[in-house]
Structure 1
Amino acid sequence: MVKVYLALYKGRKSGRTPKALAMRFTDWMVRKATRGIYSHCEIAVALGDGVFECYSSSLRDGGVRCKTMRLPSDKWDLIELPATDVLTAKLQMIWLMTQGKSYDVLGSLGVVLRVGNRPDKWFCSEWCGYVLGFAEPWRLSPNDLAGMTAEM
């Protein structure tokens, strides 16, 4: 059975370019607004040798995508999920239904402001929460998911 994780980003983007500074500021804002240490989350499937196939909706990448990446422990925390055939099938089904959908900037603000969501757009914790079967995933931040999945 494959190993599946909730990957939680706690890192700080390095660099001094305008793009790097904007990313660092966005991460800081998410952490402050949600009162936690995480600014982003992914569903990560272990491929071996520290490499993961990561599924999420990413502001940096423009929306729902799958990306192969390393997840160094100084930037990411991993919570192992109960890897079942149902979870992996659901992950693939939701990925196929939502791939390429836009990032939901207003929805991500709704986690704090408690405003509604857009069914045609996704933000990271909403997408991951949906895959994991949580009710009203548009109300969840990466920090909320960390607490909820640690109890699974």
Structure 2
Amino acid sequence: MAVHLALYKGHGQVGNVFIRWWTGSIYSHCELVVDGVCYSSSVMDKGVRSKPVGFGAGEIDLRSQHWDLVDLRWADANRVVEYFAASDDDRYGWPSLILSQFLNLNRPVRHAQFCSEWCANALGLPNAPSYSPATLGQLCAWLASGRLAISQ
């Protein structure tokens, strides 16, 4: 199963506008996509949730005018799905978002995650609260490029 990072660049709501302004990025939200299902933590859904990819009610339309996709060939799809099962009851991470993104303390809050924190945790990346959608997208694009060789 393939894993993709979906980065939201659509207009969205006031919170999306604020996140784009705060981070200086075109991205305000992110999802991990595995086998036609989006996984993330969402303010609108009050926490960790999954939604199918599609065009109907309750589905996420990943058309390119609203989303950019990064192919994560290095990511483990089973890990993402297992992490979702383990964190499905987590609420949205307002405390972690404030501590990590606004106060730069990078402190996770148990059972509460914001979108890029959840995605980073599901991917097994270190210091998950430190990522915004933009910085997570940059890291994932860099990892996808294969530039991991250590120069000597």
TM-score normalized by the length of structure 2: 0.82
Q: Who is 1:73 aligned against?
A: 64
Q: Who is 2:96 aligned against?
A: 107
Q: Is the 8 A contact 2:47 2:92 kept in 1?
A: yes
Unaligned runs of 5+ in 2: 54-60, 144-152
Q: Is the 8 A contact 2:34 2:77 kept in 1?
A: no
Higher-strand-fraction structure = 1
Shift in Å at residue 55 of structure 1? 0.3
Shift in Å at residue 83 of structure 1? 5.6
Instruction: Measure, in 1, the Cα distance between the counterparts of 2:24 and 2:102.
Output: 10
1:64 paired residue among 48, 58, 70:
48
Q: Who is 1:20 aligned against?
A: none
Residue identity over aligned pairs, in percent, reads: 34
Instruction: Measure, in 1, the Cα distance between the counterparts of 2:51 and 2:3.
Output: 15
Q: Is the 8 A contact 2:2 2:77 kept in 1?
A: no
Q: Who is 1:144 aligned against?
A: 135
Q: Who is 1:38 aligned against?
A: 27
Please say if 1:125 is aligned against 2:116: yes
Distance 1:135 1:83, change over 3 A: closer
Q: After the TM superposition, list the runs of 4 or more consecutive aligned residues in structure 1 that deviate by more than 4 angstroms.
A: none
Report the aligned-residue RMSD: 1.4
Instruction: Measure, in 2, the Cα distance between the counterparts of 1:44 and 1:93.
Output: 14
Q: How many residues align?
A: 134
